[in-house]
Amino acid sequence: MPAKDKRPTSPTPKNYEGIVNLITREYPHLSAGFQQIARFFTQNPNIIALESINSIAAQCGTHPSSLVRFAQNFGYSGFKQLQAVFQTRLATAAPGFRERLSALESELSRNEERGNLGHLRQLVVRDIAALQDLLEGVAEQDLEATARLLVKAETIYIAGQLRSEPIASFLRYVLTMLGRRVVLLDPAGGLAQEMAATMTSRDVLVAIAFRHYAKEVIAIADVAVSTSAPIIAITDSQLSPLAKDARVLFTVPEDEYTFSRSLAAPMCLVQCIAVATAALLQPGRDVTPRIPTVTEIARDRTGDSKRRSKASAKL
C-alpha cells in the first residue's frame, strides 16, 4: 500500500534541529511526493530559509501548494511558519553568517555571464560557501569518535562510487600512509559486495554516497550491518539511505551545479578525519599531526636498509 501523509502527533518543532529530526522520523510514512520535498528541505536549508515559495517549488520540482500541504502535514499553519523555523538556523549560526551569504550572492550576481572566468568565479564562490557551511555542521565529538573507530579497527573498508570515488580513493591513500590496513571496495571485478562480506565487528566501513546514491554503496552498507561492522557515513542528508545505520554520520549538503556537485567540502572533511586519526596515532606531539608521503616513507626505508647494511658489514 502507498505511504500516507498524516500529521504527526508530536509537538510542532520551533527550531531547525527539531523539524529535521521530525522529518527524518516521519519520512518512511510520507508519500513519494512528500518524500521528494523532504529530501530537498533537508539538503538545502539555506534555500528554504531565504527564497520565496515559488522559487523553492520550482527548484524542488513541485507546486507551491504542495509545500503548503507539506508544512501543514507537520502541524504548521502554512509554509511561512515552517520557513521561519528554518530561518532560526541562520539566526543561531556563527556571527557573520548572514553577511557572508549576502556577500557571496553579490559576488555571484556580479560575475554572471562573463565567459569561462565567470564560471570559475561561480565555482570558487560556491565552494567557499560550502566550506563555511562545513564548519557550521561538523561536531567535535563526531570527529573524535571517527578517529577512535579508525585507530581501533583491524581493517578499514571504504566504499565510494560515481562522484564519490575520488573521495574514497583519497581517504584510502591518507589512511594507508598512516599505516592503517585499508581495503577500497571499488566495482572493479564485480566483487565489492563479496569482499564486504568478509567484514567483522572488529572492522569499520566508511561509506560515502550523495544524491543519487550509488546502489552498490548502499548494498555494501547493508552488508556491514549484517556483519555488525560499525559504519562511518559521509552523505548529504539525514534522509540518506546511509544515515539510518551509521555509527557516526556526517552530512555535507551542497548546491548542485549543472554538471556535478562540488567535492571541495567532502574532500576537506576526509582530510580532517585523517588528521584527527593521525593525532591519536601520534600521542605527545607538540605540533600538528603529520601524515607521511610516499616519498618520505621510501626515503626512510632506504635509510633503514643502508643502516642495516653497515651494521652487517661491521659484524
pTM for the model stands at 0.75
Percentage of the chain lying above the pLDDT 90 cut: 46
pLDDT digits (tens, 9 = 90+) for 268-299: 999 999 999 999 998 876 567 777 776 565 55
The whole-angstrom distance between residue 63's C-alpha and the CA centroid of its chain comes to: 29
Region 213-219 average pLDDT:
92
The rounded mean pLDDT for the chain is 83
Per-residue confidence band for 49, with pLDDT thresholds at 50, 70 and 90: confident
Topology of the domain comprising 16-91: Arc Repressor Mutant, subunit A (1.10.10)
Per-residue confidence band for 238, with pLDDT thresholds at 50, 70 and 90: confident
> Has domain 140-281 been given CATH number 3.40.190.150?
no
Contacts of 153 (CB under 8 A, 6+ apart): 180, 202, 203, 204
Region 243-261 average pLDDT:
78
pLDDT digits (tens, 9 = 90+) for 53-103: 999 999 889 999 999 999 999 999 999 999 999 888 766 655 444 555 566
Checking if the pLDDT of 203 tops 60, the result is: yes
Region 227-249 average pLDDT:
92
